[in-house]
């Protein structure tokens, strides 16, 4: 899932400036699961705004609404009857959702309330960890199901580096060395010959270095 | 044994039911302070309800600090069901604290645009 962090309240206030008619817009997908932008978090942020502005003696209107997804037009379109009643849409979706809402409701101001951080997994309730960087050329079959792009601090394709110590990465004693994990996994599964294969310099055009990516499936088009 | 009449009790099945939104909504409705009275830690019938409540109270404190109401207006107390005296004592302690902080600057319905 896409994982994010909510922006600090002060930063959100600063971005809102003098605008007081605010539509706080949540998303029922990834940001709900990682506890940052679902219906509940919309309620918390809206409540914070109301408390702050009531305290300041200001007049305001804060509406709470959560879409099934902010990355699909049909859901975004459902707020058209009332979206225009607000000075600003404060989106609690990931960056993709914020942009798609902004695109659908131009020239209305759309502000992000969340910092989108990574593609990851739930380690336990309340703890998430990065697993994928969407590089567009998956090599997990060669690395024992552990991604060196996302999980090695240097994204090394032929690791580990000299910063690996006791199975941990030099950047942080709580961060596993991805290449130690890869070696352990390849050993366990009897595939250490994979480790002997030197990976050539990678063509990063499948990732972000090739510019914004787009995918088309002609068979799915209407 | 008595406790201050300004304290209004909201019954919940377990403090694990306490959500930060319940606390924020209470402040939106104009209360001056909120405290959660849970069972003793380690004695929760649902195992960790009161531990989770404490964490949520800590989170609510941070949110109240952010909006400028002050985290001191919310607190968590632990007591066993048989400690009526402790219940009254906590009610008194929280009342005194909130009184020293003064009335909440938030008043219900104030400032809403038509």
When divided into structural domains, chain B yields a total of 1
In whole angstroms, what is the distance from residue A46 CA to residue A63 CA? 7
Q: Kindly report the nearest CA distance between residue A136 and chain B, in angstroms.
A: 38
In whole angstroms, what is the distance from residue A162 CA to residue A166 CA? 11
Residues of chain A with CATH 3.40.50.2300: 2-118
A53: left (phi over 0), alpha (psi -120 to 50) or beta: alpha
pTM of the model: 0.93
Is the residue at B37 inside a domain?
yes
- At B23-56, the pLDDT tens digits run 999 999 999 999 999 999 999 999 999 999 999 9
Q: In what order do the strands lie in the sheet with A88-91?
A: A61-67, A21-27, A88-91, A109-112
Q: Kindly report the nearest CA distance between residue B9 and chain A, in angstroms.
A: 22
Is the residue at B23 inside a domain?
yes
Residues whose CB is less than 8 angstroms from the CB of residue A146 and which lie 6 or more positions away in sequence, other chains included? A140, A178, A181, A182, A185
Low-confidence ranges of chain A (pLDDT < 70): none
C-alpha distance from residue B97 to each of B71, B73, B101, B103 (Å): 12, 8, 6, 11
Cβ(A26)–Cβ(A38) below 8 Å:
yes
Is the residue at B96 inside a domain?
no
Q: What is the pLDDT of residue B110?
A: 55
Q: Which CATH class is domain A2-118?
A: alpha beta
Is the residue at B63 inside a domain?
yes
- The candidate with the shortest Cα–Cα distance to A105, out of A83, A74, A90, A86, is A83
The mean pLDDT of chain A is 96
Looking at the partner chain, which of A20, A47, A61 has a beta carbon nearest the beta carbon of B28?
A47
Q: What is the pLDDT of residue B108?
A: 60
Whether the pLDDT of residue B97 is over 60: the answer is: yes
Q: Do A61 and B112 touch (CB under 8 A)?
A: yes
Is the residue at B3 inside a domain?
no
Q: Give the mean pLDDT of B9-19.
A: 95
């Amino acid at each position: 899932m896409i994982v994010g962090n909510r922006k600090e309240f002060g930063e959100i206030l600063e971005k809102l400036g003098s605008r007081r008619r605010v539509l706080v817009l949540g998303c029922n997908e990834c940001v709900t699961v990682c506890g940052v932008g679902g219906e509940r978090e919309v309620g918390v942020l809206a409540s914070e705004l109301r408390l702050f502005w009531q305290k300041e003696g200001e007049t305001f209107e804060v509406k709470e609404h959560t879409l099934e997804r902010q990355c699909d037009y049909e859901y975004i379109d459902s707020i058209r009857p009332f979206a225009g009643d607000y000075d600003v849409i404060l989106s609690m979706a990931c960056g993709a959702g914020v942009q798609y809402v902004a695109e659908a409701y131009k020239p209305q101001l759309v502000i992000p309330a969340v910092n989108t951080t990574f593609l990851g997994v739930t380690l336990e309730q309340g703890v998430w960890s990065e697993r994928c960087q969407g590089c567009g050329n998956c090599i997990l079959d060669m690395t024992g199901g552990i991604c060196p792009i996302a999980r090695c601090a240097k994204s090394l394709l032929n690791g580990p580096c000299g910063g690996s110590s006791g199975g941990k990465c030099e950047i942080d004693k709580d961060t596993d060395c991805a290449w130690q994990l890869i070696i352990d996994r390849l050993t366990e599964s009897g595939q250490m010959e994979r480790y002997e294969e030197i990976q050539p310099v990678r063509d990063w055009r499948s990732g972000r270095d090739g510019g914004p990516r787009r995918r088309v499936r002609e068979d799915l088009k209407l | 044994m008595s406790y201050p009449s300004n304290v209004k009790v909201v019954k919940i099945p377990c403090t694990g039911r306490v959500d930060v939104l319940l606390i924020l909504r209470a402040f939106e409705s104009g209360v001056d302070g909120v405290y959660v009275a849970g069972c003793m830690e380690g004695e929760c019938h649902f195992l960790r309800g009161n531990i989770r409540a404490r964490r949520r109270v800590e989170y609510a404190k941070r949110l109240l600090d952010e909006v400028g109401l002050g985290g001191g207006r919310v607190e968590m107390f632990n007591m066993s069901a048989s400690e009526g005296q402790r219940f009254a004592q906590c009610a008194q302690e929280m009342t005194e604290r909130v009184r020293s902080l003064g009335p909440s600057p938030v008043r219900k319905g104030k400032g809403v645009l038509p």
